[in-house]
Structure 1
C-alpha cells in the first residue's frame, strides 16, 4: 500500500513537469515549422531588389514606374512599433516631391480629418491634441507620441511648400467617435453662418447638437431618416452634411468597416473630382491586403483593387514586418498577470519571427539586412521566386483572440497581397501619448 501511495505521489509531482516539457516541445516544433528555414534562391533575389531607408533624403530607387503610376499607395503596419512612423513620413515627403501628391489617406474618419486639417492650416496644437486625446480615451495604439510628432513634422514640412503643394488629410474610415462628429457638424454650421429658419431639417439637427442629452443613436437615426434630404444650403455645406449623414447611417446600419472606407473614398473622389489624383497613407496591415483572406475578409485595399472605381487595379501596397523589435500593445489585450493595470505594455511578442507571430520565410529577409535598419524589398520584379512561392504569404498567430493571415486562394503567394515588403529591425516600441498631453 505504501509503495502504491508513493508511486501516486510521484506521478502527481512529476505530471506538471512532464506536461510543461511536452508543451515546450510542441511549441518549439510549431515555431520552427511556422517560421521555416532559409532559401539561397530567395536571398539572392532579395539582395538585388532591396534598399535600406534612412532618415532624411531618400531617392527610393527601389520603386518602379508602376509604383509611381498607382492611384492609391498604402503602407501597412502592425500598430505599436516606432520605426514605421519615420518611414511613413519619408515616403509621404518623397511622393510629394516626386509626383506632387498632396492627399494623405489616413486611418481616421472625416471629422477627425477635419480637425487635423485645421491644425495643418493654423498650427494650433490644441486641435491636434483634441484628436489624439480621443484615441487616448479609447486606449488605441494610434495614441502614441511617434505618430503625434509625425503630424507636427508634416505641419513643419508644409510650411516650406506653396499652398497648392501642401499635404492635407483625407479621412475615409468609419466614424470612430460620434462626439467628434457632433463637434464637426456644429462647427460647419457655425462657419457657414447658418441662420435658423433657413432649413427645417437643419434646424432639427441644430437642436440635437445643442441638446447635451441627445444620445448618439438618436443622431444616427436622424441622419438615416434624412439621407436624401435636399438641404436649402450652399453647395459645399450641403455636400459635407450629406457625407456625414451617410456615415452616421453606415454606423447605424453596422456596415463593414473596410466597405465604408471604400465607399467613402469613391464618393469623395467623385464629389471633389479626385478621380485622377494620387493618394498615399499608412494603415493597419489587415486593411492593405489586396486579396481576400481568413475565409472571406475583404480589406480596404482589396475593395479598391477589385471593385468598380477610379482605383480599380491601380493600388500598390507595402507591408511591414518586424524582428528584434518592441511593440506597444494595449494592456487589455495581455493577461492580467502581465498588464498590472497599465494602459499599455511593451512586448516583443509580435515580431514576425516569434514568439507569438510567425511569418514563414522571414529568415531570408533577416539574413540580408543589418541590425537597427529599415529595408524595402520589391517582390514582383521579373523572375521573382516570390511569384510562385508560398514564402511570406501566410502569418500564424498564437496570441489568444488574435487571428493570423491566411489567403483564401489555393496556392497563395505574397505578391497577390502586396508588391513590396519592409523589414524593420530593432525598432523601439511606440511611446504612449499620455505623457505628452
Structure 2
C-alpha cells in the first residue's frame, strides 16, 4: 500500500482529542466498538505528563458510555486496597501513607498523586451503586505496603488485647523484618512468607475464622510477595510478570460482582497478541474463552515528548519519541497535541498488514490490529513532575 492510500485511510479515520473539562465527544470515534467489549485498555510509556490527562479523559468517557465499574491498575493488590480505602473515606493520610513506599517507582510523581485526588472528587459525584473500584493486578513490588496490608488484616477485627497466639506470631515476624531487609534479596523475608503460605494452606479453616472477609486478600498478597521473587529472580522478567498479572486478574475477577473494566497500563501489557517468549496480559486475556474478543486496546505513541524516570536517589528527565520515523503518512497529523486513529475501520490497511507505528517492541507476525485497535499520537508533552525526595509531603499539604 502506498503512502497516499495509507494517508487517505487515516484522513477518514482520525479525530483531534479536545481536553475540555466535560468534552467526551472527541472520543466518539470509539463508540461503535463499545457494544461487545468488557475490558478497555489504554497503553502508555510511563512518565509522560499527557498520560494522566488522557487516563482521566478516558475514565470519564468510559464511565459515561459503558458505566464500567472497575478501574484496572498496574498496582499491587495491597496498594489498590488502601487507595480504595482513601476513595471511600476521603482521608488523604491513607494516600500519603501508601506513597511513602513508592519512592523510586514510576508512580513517584505529583501528577499521579493528584490523579487519585481527582478520581476521588469524580467518584463523589456518582451514586453509591455506580462508584468506581480500583483493581490492582500487579505483583507486590513494594513489600512495605504489602506488610502494612497484612498487618492491617490481622488487626482490623481484633484489639491488641484479644489477638491470639497466631496473630501475635505473624505480627512479630512482620515487625522483625527491618526496613533495610524489605528488598527482594532478603532471604529472611522470603523464608517467612514461604512458611506462611504453607500454614495458610494447611490451616485454611483456622485462618478463614480469624481473617474473615480479609482471608482472600491476605493470602493473595502473600502469594504475590512470592511471585515478586519469581519475577525478579527469573530469566524472563516480562514473560513471568505478565503471566502473574493475568493469573491475578482471573482470580480477582472470580471474586468480583459482574462489571466492566477500564485501565491504563504500560504499553506492552495491552498488546493482544504474544511476542516471542512473552504472552502479554492483553494476549492472555484474548486467549481466555471468557474474554476472547471482548478486549479493546488503545496504544499511545509519542512525538517530541519528555518523560520522568525516577530512582530512589535522583529523578531524571529525558526525551521520548516512539513514533516510527518511517511512518511518513502520519506527518500530516502531528500538528495536534492529541490525535486518535481508528485502525480497525472499513478497508483498513492495519487489518491486512503488520504496519507497526511504534519505534520499539517490534512484533514478529500478524497484523497491526491483532495487537491494538486504536492509536493515540501525543505531541510535545512535558514530563511528569517529580515529588521531592526529602520533603515530598510538603507538596501534599
TM-score under structure 2 length normalisation? 0.85
Aligned residue in 2 for 1:344: 315
Aligned residue in 2 for 1:29: none
Helix, strand or coil: the match of 1:116? helix
Q: Distance in 2 between matches of 1:198 and 1:331?
A: 39
**In the TM superposition, what is the alpha-carbon distance from 1:150 to its structure 2 partner?**
1.4
CA separation of 1:41/1:418 partners in 2, compared to 1, >3 Å: closer, same or farther? same
**In the TM superposition, what is the alpha-carbon distance from 1:384 to its structure 2 partner?**
0.4
Does residue 1:425 correspond to 2:379, yes or no? Answer: yes
Q: Distance in 2 between matches of 1:303 and 1:73?
A: 15
Q: Distance in 1 between matches of 2:364 and 2:157?
A: 49
**In the TM superposition, what is the alpha-carbon distance from 1:249 to its structure 2 partner?**
3.2
Identify which of 47, 68, 75 aligns with 2:11.
Answer: 47
Gaps of 5+ in 2: 182-187, 235-239
Contact kept, 8 Å, 2:177 with 2:189, in 1: the verdict is no
Does residue 1:216 correspond to 2:189, yes or no? Answer: yes
Could you give the per-residue CA deviations for residues 390-435 of structure 1, whole angstroms, max 9, x where no partner exists?
3225x44xxxxxxx312132xx422110010000111111111225
Aligned residue in 2 for 1:104: 71
Contact kept, 8 Å, 1:119 with 1:128, in 2: the verdict is yes
Q: Distance in 1 between matches of 2:214 and 2:248?
A: 17
Q: Distance in 2 between matches of 1:327 and 1:251?
A: 26
Aligned residue in 1 for 2:237: none
Aligned residue in 2 for 1:266: 250
Could you give the per-residue CA deviations for residues 312-332 of structure 1, whole angstroms, max 9, x where no partner exists?
331111000011222223479
Aligned residue in 2 for 1:244: 221
Contact kept, 8 Å, 2:190 with 2:226, in 1: the verdict is no
- 1:238-317 aligned within 5 A: 238-254=215-231, 256-273=240-257, 276-293=258-275, 295-308=276-289, 310-317=290-297
Q: Distance in 1 between matches of 2:105 and 2:221?
A: 23
- 1:354-433 aligned within 5 A: 358=324, 360-361=326-327, 363-371=328-336, 373-392=337-356, 395-396=358-359, 404-409=360-365, 412-433=366-387
Could you give the per-residue CA deviations for residues 9-33 of structure 1, whole angstroms, max 9, x where no partner exists?
xxxxxxxxxxxxxxxxxxxxxxxxx
Contact kept, 8 Å, 1:224 with 1:248, in 2: the verdict is no
CA separation of 1:83/1:167 partners in 2, compared to 1, >3 Å: closer, same or farther? same
Contact kept, 8 Å, 1:116 with 1:169, in 2: the verdict is yes
Aligned residue in 1 for 2:184: none
TM-score under structure 1 length normalisation? 0.78
Contact kept, 8 Å, 2:197 with 2:219, in 1: the verdict is no
Does residue 1:168 correspond to 2:133, yes or no? Answer: yes
Could you give the per-residue CA deviations for residues 58-101 of structure 1, whole angstroms, max 9, x where no partner exists?
12211144334322111100111111211100111121122221
Q: Distance in 2 between matches of 1:103 and 1:130?
A: 23
Aligned residue in 1 for 2:307: 327
Q: Distance in 2 between matches of 1:225 and 1:125?
A: 36
Contact kept, 8 Å, 1:145 with 1:433, in 2: the verdict is yes
Contact kept, 8 Å, 2:309 with 2:315, in 1: the verdict is yes
Q: Distance in 2 between matches of 1:128 and 1:366?
A: 42
Greater CA drift, 195-204 or 90-99:
195-204
Q: Distance in 1 between matches of 2:2 and 2:307?
A: 25
Does residue 1:58 correspond to 2:24, yes or no? Answer: yes
Contact kept, 8 Å, 1:224 with 1:252, in 2: the verdict is no
Contact kept, 8 Å, 1:70 with 1:314, in 2: the verdict is yes
CA separation of 1:233/1:133 partners in 2, compared to 1, >3 Å: closer, same or farther? closer
Contact kept, 8 Å, 1:292 with 1:408, in 2: the verdict is no
CA separation of 1:43/1:331 partners in 2, compared to 1, >3 Å: closer, same or farther? farther
Q: Distance in 2 between matches of 1:271 and 1:133?
A: 29
Aligned residue in 1 for 2:91: 124
